[in-house]
Chains A and B, each alone.
Chain A
């Protein structure tokens, strides 16, 4: 290895090029100069970056940042995009506002739009009680099944959402009340037991006993709302007692407890909070969950 007479730096014998003097396991780095255009590209990038900060939001100031002469902001961009989407949806949105909910359900395009809109409205307003999958829970109806206390047609669902159930502020609300047969001493304990065993027998629950006394008690006290034989009356919100589904627990003890001192669910009248289009969209979504009639 020779050295450069001027610089005193080692020179690679094979290429005649100076090395940096660094050596890794016998491998030395040639000190070839970079191409000049590379340098200019580097300067160009710096200039570009500076010019960019003039045109776009960049430099932090005390309370905010420079806005840039182009006035661009991603927030404004989003607002613009959102308003464009809203304009694009205007035709569908106005149709949903005008048409009755049954017509929306029947129109595939409106149905698709309303279902999607209804799903997001559901996630915001309804999941607190009915769950994210609308599967409900004890006391909160499952909206996926085919059992409807107040009716499963699109119009019935729409009415239920709009006016709520037992809403204290809406005169048109879905309203019924089951007497406190035990607490108010309308029936004695033995009768309640017989009645509960009869009701349990209607759907084949464990502990159910179908007795003429029970049938008589049911006919006298319950059939007005729950229908003859317990098949339910949706007009008055009397649940079907013969099917496999129970709003509260499906057991003899739960039935007895409900007869003695019934629990009553409440749903607010959503027309007080949501606009009519949103309620229609919710109705279409709920109807499409799998149990709509």
Chain B
């Protein structure tokens, strides 16, 4: 407000306001992606990531080609999802659709495993084993091989278009597409006999769905691994939100230990001579340039951080050169970090001299370092016991289950039929399951219903208390069964048993069945 009495103008209120659509006020509603040029890291975690990458990619590409002899009646592919015939083969295990609860069990294990891993080592899945991470790493290998490391790539990106740039770019994208095709190609082999399907694909005789799957997975692999990268993790994936909520104060996470790093500075000696406290961080930004997510871990724990630990490698190398202890950035628990922080900044002001012995220059003994204690604690042990218990339980059930089965459905209309001699007949739809890969001679019999006889539809009508069957391998034999009980036995509802036994009597399966009679 500007008011003067001697002004010719009448007193005015001057307001501090801008129109809502002023150019000054506009901020972007949509942010363009900022390019990230991760520098190659060297160190223990990088080596571990190479190892994980080699193992996971090998598992993915090689598994469909493993063979497993199941005899002449079943496929010899070790891992096969036979959707057409509703069979799932996994080495010595064969799952039928009605046994889908094993898959539910696997999902429960995956859930508990997620709790276990996250409460122990944080977002380790994101940093090491997630396909997005593994394939981005693979795509970066290609990118570095063709365009060079960070500085060369930035230079190339800024350079005007030329023949050389075109060649590099085209060959990079071509190789990425090739990886994409290989990825999509490997996927389809899980669903059919791999050698046969490969031949069909090459000779353009595979079903349309195979080519569509390859095309789709090629597109997603190329787009996610090559073009979108960190955008997938930050914006598309729910995992960062879910996993972050499962961390506790004893979970290991990639942490910048500012209790020893701050105040950071590029001119440590000058600062020291001036008597100012000086932390270990020399602000070289090595941790930022290696980050595939393009973030600065020194800003603290962030949603974008996939905990790949490459910043730890980068910083450790710098600390080695400076002759300081490794671990300025390290896997640390929040509890340890807070304890150290309290030591370094009891009054809220960081003083890195408080964490070091003034004589030896080493950390004082009260400083907490990462230890295996954080891994072995009640919460993680409980998770592990539950996880392993479900796994062992499923393995036990799988190994003990009978390879033959019987399902029975009693006729609902009519419930019973009276025959001319006064005896009562009940009809049943019986399904005999031969879950072995060999043809089986089986015997179907009933027990618990005195004087009763069984016949099957279409048979010659010879009544006895058992039926001999030949069941084809890996198939269900539907059987229409009539059970006839004499009038003297047929009163009320009678529970009895239907049993199917293999030829030598070693394996059998039974089911309780009800026999209905007229109710007066």
Contact = CB atoms under 8 A, between A and B. Distances in A.
Contact of A135 (B24, B30, B413, B482): B413
A33 B413 contact: no
B235 interface: yes
Interface string A120-145: 00000000000111110000001011
A244 interface: yes
A7 interface: yes
Nearest to A131: B413
A244 B518 CA distance: 13
Interface residues of A, number: 33
Interface stretch (B134-142, B369-377, B417-425): B417-425
Given A7-B25, A33-B31, A34-B29, A243 B421 contact: yes
B425 A35 contact: no
B59 to A, nearest CB: 31
A147 B461 CA distance: 15
A290 interface: yes
The B interface is mostly helix, strand or loop, or mixed, namely loop
Contact of B231 (A35, A132, A134, A243): A35
B475 interface: no
A145 B235 CA distance: 69
B163 to A, nearest CB: 30
A146 B32 contact: no
Number of contact residues on B: which range applies?
Answer: 20 to 34
A133 B413 contact: yes
B357 interface: no
B417 A35 contact: no
Contacts of A36: 30-33
Most-contacted residue by chain A among B24, B29, B231, B420 (CB, 10 A): B420
B33 A146 contact: no
Contacts of B27: 7, 18, 33
Contacts of B411: 133
Contacts of A146: 419-420
A37 B228 contact: yes
B418 A244 contact: yes
B480 A288 contact: yes
B420 A244 contact: yes
Interface of A: 6-8, 18, 32-39, 105, 108, 111, 131-135, 142, 144-147, 240, 243-245, 288, 290-291, 293
Q: Which 10 A-B pairs have CB atoms at the shortest separation, nearest pair first?
A: A133-B413, A243-B420, A135-B414, A244-B422, A33-B31, A144-B417, A36-B30, A147-B420, A133-B414, A39-B30
29 contacts: A6-B18, A8-B18, A33-B28, A33-B30, A34-B29, A34-B31, A35-B30, A36-B31, A108-B458, A111-B458, A132-B413, A133-B412, A133-B414, A142-B414, A145-B418, A145-B419, A145-B425, A146-B419, A147-B419, A240-B420, A243-B421, A243-B422, A244-B419, A244-B420, A244-B421, A245-B418, A288-B457, A290-B457, A291-B417
